[in-house]
Structure 1
Amino acid sequence: MYRHQPAPQPATLDLPVQHRGAAVRAASYQEADNTIEIVWTTGAKVRRVSWVDGPYDEELEVSASAVRLDRLNAGAPFLNTHASADLADVIGAVVPGSARIERGKGVARVQLSDAPADADIVAKIKNGVIRNISVGYRVHTVMVTERDGEPPLHSVIDWEPLEISAVPIPADPGAQVRSEAETFPATISKGGRKMPAANPNPAPAAVEAERVRNDIIADLATRTGQVALGKEHIASGTTVEEFRRVLVERLAEDQERDFPSNGARHLGVPATVSDDSLDHRRARAMESAIAHRVDPARFKLEAGAEHYMSSSLLDLARRSIEDRGGRTYGMSKMQIASEALAQRSGLHSTSDFPTILSNVAGKSLRAAYDAVPQTFRPLVREVTVPDFKDVTRASISEAPQFEKVNEHGEFKRGSMSEGAEKYRIATFGKIIGITRQALVNDDLDAFGRIPRAFGIQAAQLESDVVWAQLLANPTMGDNAALFHANHGNLLTSGAIGATTVGEARLKMGLQTGLDGKTVLNLTPSYLIVPKALEIQALTFLATISPTQQNDAVASVLKNLTLIAEPRLDLGVARYNIAGDQHSYYFAAAPAYVDLIELAYLEGAQGVYTETKQGFDVDGVEIKVRLDVGAKVIDWRGLSKNPYSG
């Protein structure tokens, strides 16, 4: 558990086994029982590097309350340089009950091996040639303190030694390379107080730089399963940048060997990345941080995102490149932006940044799309269609009437009457470009305002498609217009009032099924008006009161739900359909009769985005697409009053 002061919401991370250097007390060797006393920790401050936080200083609290000694006192292993892949790696064991805390130091007595294979190492320990000790431990609780001008201080106040090793160099980062990258959960809280910059670390700068180099190389090698390669380059003094290049080449060679490029399977580098991988969690945290900067109220920070809140888009681009083994040293801002947005064949991409940015833009777009009010929603039934061919939608009438079955008689088969309406969906869309300039300028409009505008346009398109059906008065499957005297749904012109509403109830209630016999008994549930008539409609509905003795229809008229839509006034410019500020409509509840069907392409319901390397723009292009169509299916639940004012 990581703690700040004060501690906000915690987040759980998996932390690797850590290692610390200490010393052997050669003079304490006892020939009789082949044991030697060691100091396995002093708690001294050590510079470390986290792949999430970057550099930080770690300081162990060495006290009886902070150190869990159970494992050591149960006979924890004494290993050769933290190796644990084989029993031969064990060169001794902690004497049970000997581990203790003395004056701020961790002390224990170790029983050395007397096996011939271990004789050389044991002899060097007894003679004082090997005198460096490193402890491998698990962190349980850490208090994190931010410091001005320095990396944060991680004060470990609850930790558990797991094993002790003899090592060539105390606090040797190379010793962190283990055959299994074992990790343990810890809880991290961020956002605590800062403390003034402390005095510089007394260790020479060159030594600290070397430790950081070794830390990074060891971590890279462990995560990619190239432990031996990491040890080799730690020893040879290879720089981090050069090791990343060598590592990528080695991984590519291994991939080509296991999955030849002429084979049926081709994977990028790294070969596989699971959703729970560190790379995926880091990319998700970057995505959350950018989205939160774009719209703090709508997008909350996810775990780990707080680490990137102060980073510019260019900083995140640089980090994304380096996390994938790329090098940015000496690059200009524009070069970093170009590299981060580049798509490569084979290796997929030099970074995860194109995906991160397109996801943020997609979130902004979808959020705006979902937030736009659409007055048509109560009137439609959403469906999906498999392709762009004509859809033949049957308006199914009532089931055939039951017939009496005489004694010993047979049941007769019935058939359903159908009326067919045809329509098809169409594709609408635009392309958003995310350019190098947007990254260099830290321009959040490319991920906020612009995608939001596209999302709003997608929602407006759906409204255009639906309301155009009423305004266009389309020809139905029987070759008559939607609102036509033959359909019994074209009312007598008149202002909104009890008389006109009463006529709508009468005509809708007299509608019959497709067989012309069955009574549907429909009633208007919605009063649909242009904005110009909204106040008139509200006034009419407000004056209806079931408590008035002289208003016999008050209770039934009160059930009308008002829908006011500006497209009825203005028309739908997309389809060159004029509006009408005076006509108004009635609709039954769609649960009882088909009204309007709103169709999307299967697998792409609502607004859909996809990303590719830009051709028209110098960067990444995001295609925003909407595959949609609408059609009135049955006229029986709709009626129109062609009022002229």
Structure 2
Amino acid sequence: MKKMNVLAIACTLAVAALAFVAMAPAVYAAVPASHAPGFSLGDLLSNNANYFASALVAMRVDLEGLIKRASDKIAELKDDTPAEAARAIEEDHKKILADIEKLRADIAAKEAEEAAANNSPAQRSAEAARAADILDVGTRAGMDTDAIQTAIRNGDSLDAFRARAFDFMAERASGTQTSPGRVIRDEVETRRSGMLTAMTFRMGGAEQPTGDALSMARGFMDNQDLVDFAAASIGHRGSVRSVREREEVLTRAFHSGSDFPAIFSSAINTVLERRYALAEPTYRRIARRRDFVDFRPHYAVSVGEFPMLEKLTESGEIKFGTFGESKEQIAVLPYAKGIRVSRQMMVNDRLGAIGEVLGGYGRTVARFEEITFYAMKLSANTKLSDGKVVFHADHGNLAGAGAAITVASIGAGKAAMRKQKGLDDATLNIQPSILLVSPDKETEALQYLAPILANDSVKVNPHVGTLEPVVAAELTGNAWYLFASPDEAPVYQWGLLDGYTAPRIRIEEPFGTQGVGMTVEHDIGFGAVDFRGGYKNPGA
């Protein structure tokens, strides 16, 4: 459909162009057949000196430029031009045609004006000769067309313009000549990008490339294993058959000045990042994300509610209130682990096994995060700035006695959360949305939250549909928790080091007798920031 739309627009522009060409003879009626659009302006001035006056010369140069712009604009349409871009091209082309029509009218008017004013053939011949000489001098000096046209229109004398052209050439010769900047795709960078795209695809870290990515990667898409990519990176020609040849190619690729180590590292990091993004650890459901700018401890500031409005006094006095705030400290910590991809796996890899192994580390890191978060959550050392653990009787978010998950116990937890007061002693009316349980309480939670058709109003569960069950394997026992959305009332916070979105793999040791040595590095932090958005029941 998109190609049909582009074709339709192209046809429209072509028809418009043909229509303009049909009208063009009126503009060039006085131009000999040998001087069709694209003619040499110098020749035209010499052969038709009686016809062109200075202003008309400049106007006809402008007209020639507009005709060229209209032709170039049509040429911008390609088979793969998006419909929106094609419509924009059509609008630009219409504007150019409108400018051409206006200029044609101006030329006709100018012709009539000069025909009435200049009755002397000698005068017309002298004016045309002046314009021709200025054009010749300006062109030889390399001056811009605009400067030449301005001199012709303003009636500058040939001597004055010749002096200006000399100064222009002298200034250009003494300075450093520069050319307009152009973005050129470097061949080496194109090859590297194409190889990276193809390798990432073969490792399962990206979808089938399309567009420019596919055109750059096309030469490497048939490569099936790491040795093929290594051979391509060092310019190896011919097939690689024996195990010895495969090892030699890998050794050269890792130890030479080729881009292979960087390409290999980027590809496995892309796979790792994708697998990490697909993981869904439960802690992210109950904790708010806020990244860290460095490794120093950061304050997580909880700001109190806006002060309540008060009636104005008779004199119109406005009383100002204050905000309360509390500060909890959290720091991001660095974590790392060394791994090794064996020499045998590197040599034998043909089906992306390395990509699967290293990409699977993304899930491992997500599991590590889950374990680390719940270790922090359950630790007696995780305390708020008031010196108390998150779930404490003094915080009003801990049930006095354990109870099973029932309508009454859930109702008590909801009531406790709704009654929580902010830093300015205003009631917050927090609504819980998550029921967090251990695997030991999963069945009970699912049964409780399952909708039932009760024929007795006493048996109706009013909490169905208001809570989402979340099961954390790191929890044990009968305790269960209520949490509000972390966007509304966060209890815990987590974050990565600013600029990083996933763990990363770094090649530490090049290919050798034991394979390739790497490190998986990850920077992340967890901490408690408030108590009001959660509630704990020890369970029964």
TM-score normalised to structure 2 length = 0.58
- Displacement after TM superposition at 1:436 (Å): 5.8
State the distance in 2 between where 1:279 and 1:435 align: 30
Select 2:395's aligned residue among 484, 487, 492. 487
State the distance in 1 between where 2:403 and 2:471 align: 18
The corresponding residue for 2:521 is 625
Summarize the alignment of residues 45-194 of structure 1 with structure 2, pairs less than 5 Å apart: none
State the distance in 1 between where 2:199 and 2:480 align: 46
The corresponding residue for 2:253 is 340
State the distance in 2 between where 1:472 and 1:616 align: 44
- Displacement after TM superposition at 1:544 (Å): 5.1
State the distance in 2 between where 1:277 and 1:433 align: 34
Matched, 1:456 2:363: yes
Output one character per residue of 1:443-501: Cα deviation in whole Å (capped at 9) or x when no partner: 66663232123211211122223323432252221111211110111113111111110
CA 315–449 in structure 1, closer or farther in 2 if over 3 Å, else same? closer
CA 506–312 in structure 1, closer or farther in 2 if over 3 Å, else same? closer
Output one character per residue of 1:285-308: Cα deviation in whole Å (capped at 9) or x when no partner: 333333333339x54245154543
Output one character per residue of 1:268-297: Cα deviation in whole Å (capped at 9) or x when no partner: xxxxxx88333333333333333333339x
Query: Is the partner of 2:450 in helix, strand or coil?
Result: helix
The corresponding residue for 1:276 is 185
Give the letter aligned to residue 393 of structure 1: A
Output one character per residue of 1:242-262: Cα deviation in whole Å (capped at 9) or x when no partner: xxxxxxxxxxxxxxxxxxxxx
State the distance in 2 between where 1:430 and 1:636 align: 37
Select 1:567's aligned residue among 448, 453, 474. 474
Give the letter aligned to residue 336 of structure 1: V
Structure showing greater Rg: 2
The corresponding residue for 1:359 is 266
Output one character per residue of 1:119-168: Cα deviation in whole Å (capped at 9) or x when no partner: xxxxxxxxxxxxxxxxxxxxxxxxxxxxxxxxxxxxxxxxxxxxxxxxxx
Q: Tell whether the 8 Å contact from 1:438 to 1:444 is kept in structure 2 after alignment.
A: no
- Displacement after TM superposition at 1:412 (Å): 2.7
Select 2:418's aligned residue among 509, 534, 538. 509
The corresponding residue for 2:405 is 496
- Displacement after TM superposition at 1:598 (Å): 0.8
The corresponding residue for 1:636 is 532
The corresponding residue for 2:288 is 381
Which stretch shifts more, 408-417 or 519-528? 408-417
The corresponding residue for 1:264 is none
Q: Which runs of 4 or more aligned residues in structure 1 lie more than 6 Å from their structure 2 counterparts after TM superposition?
A: 615-619
- Displacement after TM superposition at 1:411 (Å): 2.3
State the distance in 1 between where 2:429 and 2:536 align: 18
Matched, 1:315 2:211: no
Output one character per residue of 1:316-357: Cα deviation in whole Å (capped at 9) or x when no partner: 32221128x9xx9x9944332222112xxxxxx521211221
Summarize the alignment of residues 187-266 of structure 1 with structure 2, pairs less than 5 Å apart: none
Select 1:525's aligned residue among 405, 426, 433. 433
Q: Tell whether the 8 Å contact from 2:337 to 2:519 is kept in structure 1 after alignment.
A: yes
Q: Tell whether the 8 Å contact from 2:268 to 2:505 is kept in structure 1 after alignment.
A: no
Query: Is the partner of 2:235 in helix, strand or coil?
Result: helix
Output one character per residue of 1:382-405: Cα deviation in whole Å (capped at 9) or x when no partner: 111121111121222212222222
Matched, 1:441 2:348: yes
- Displacement after TM superposition at 1:550 (Å): 0.9
- Displacement after TM superposition at 1:314 (Å): 2.3
Query: Is the partner of 1:520 in helix, strand or coil?
Result: coil
The corresponding residue for 2:48 is none
- Displacement after TM superposition at 1:406 (Å): 0.7
- Displacement after TM superposition at 1:434 (Å): 5.2
Give the letter aligned to residue 584 of structure 1: W
The corresponding residue for 1:229 is none
CA 592–439 in structure 1, closer or farther in 2 if over 3 Å, else same? closer
The corresponding residue for 1:167 is none
Q: Tell whether the 8 Å contact from 2:383 to 2:528 is kept in structure 1 after alignment.
A: no
Q: Which has the higher strand share?
A: 1
Q: Tell whether the 8 Å contact from 2:343 to 2:511 is kept in structure 1 after alignment.
A: no
CA 295–604 in structure 1, closer or farther in 2 if over 3 Å, else same? closer
Give the letter aligned to residue 416 of structure 2: K
The corresponding residue for 1:428 is 335
Output one character per residue of 1:400-444: Cα deviation in whole Å (capped at 9) or x when no partner: 222222132432332211122112111112234456654433366
Matched, 1:586 2:482: yes
Give the letter aligned to residue 520 of structure 2: V
State the distance in 2 between where 1:616 and 1:430 align: 20
Query: Is the partner of 1:523 in helix, strand or coil?
Result: coil
CA 318–639 in structure 1, closer or farther in 2 if over 3 Å, else same? same
TM-score normalised to structure 1 length = 0.49
Relative contact order (alpha carbons < 8 A, sep ≥ 6): 1 or 2 greater?
2
Output one character per residue of 1:72-125: Cα deviation in whole Å (capped at 9) or x when no partner: xxxxxxxxxxxxxxxxxxxxxxxxxxxxxxxxxxxxxxxxxxxxxxxxxxxxxx
Give the letter aligned to residue 300 of structure 1: Q
State the distance in 2 between where 1:627 and 1:479 align: 27
The corresponding residue for 2:198 is 289
Q: Tell whether the 8 Å contact from 2:449 to 2:463 is kept in structure 1 after alignment.
A: no
CA 319–452 in structure 1, closer or farther in 2 if over 3 Å, else same? closer
Q: Tell whether the 8 Å contact from 2:204 to 2:352 is kept in structure 1 after alignment.
A: no
CA 315–614 in structure 1, closer or farther in 2 if over 3 Å, else same? closer
Query: Is the partner of 1:385 in helix, strand or coil?
Result: coil
State the distance in 2 between where 1:275 and 1:496 align: 66
Query: Is the partner of 2:457 in helix, strand or coil?
Result: coil
Q: Tell whether the 8 Å contact from 2:250 to 2:511 is kept in structure 1 after alignment.
A: no
State the distance in 1 between where 2:224 and 2:457 align: 71
Give the letter aligned to residue 278 of structure 1: E
Give the letter aligned to residue 604 of structure 1: Y
Query: Is the partner of 1:499 in helix, strand or coil?
Result: helix
- Displacement after TM superposition at 1:541 (Å): 1.1
Q: Tell whether the 8 Å contact from 1:544 to 1:558 is kept in structure 2 after alignment.
A: no
State the distance in 2 between where 1:186 and 1:542 align: 56
The corresponding residue for 1:537 is 445
- Displacement after TM superposition at 1:626 (Å): 1.3
- Displacement after TM superposition at 1:622 (Å): 4.1
The corresponding residue for 2:55 is none
State the distance in 2 between where 1:617 and 1:418 align: 59
State the distance in 2 between where 1:539 and 1:437 align: 51
Q: Tell whether the 8 Å contact from 1:607 to 1:626 is kept in structure 2 after alignment.
A: yes
Q: Tell whether the 8 Å contact from 1:391 to 1:422 is kept in structure 2 after alignment.
A: yes
State the distance in 2 between where 1:439 and 1:617 align: 11
CA 276–498 in structure 1, closer or farther in 2 if over 3 Å, else same? same
The corresponding residue for 1:597 is 493
Matched, 1:477 2:385: yes
Q: Percent of aligned positions with the same letter in both sequences?
A: 29
State the distance in 2 between where 1:432 and 1:288 align: 24
CA 591–544 in structure 1, closer or farther in 2 if over 3 Å, else same? farther
Structure 1: segments with no counterpart, 5+ residues: 1-184, 188-273, 343-348, 570-580
CA 335–497 in structure 1, closer or farther in 2 if over 3 Å, else same? same
The corresponding residue for 1:405 is 312
State the distance in 1 between where 2:339 and 2:187 align: 30
The corresponding residue for 1:64 is none
Q: Tell whether the 8 Å contact from 2:202 to 2:352 is kept in structure 1 after alignment.
A: no
Q: Tell whether the 8 Å contact from 1:527 to 1:585 is kept in structure 2 after alignment.
A: yes
Matched, 1:606 2:502: yes
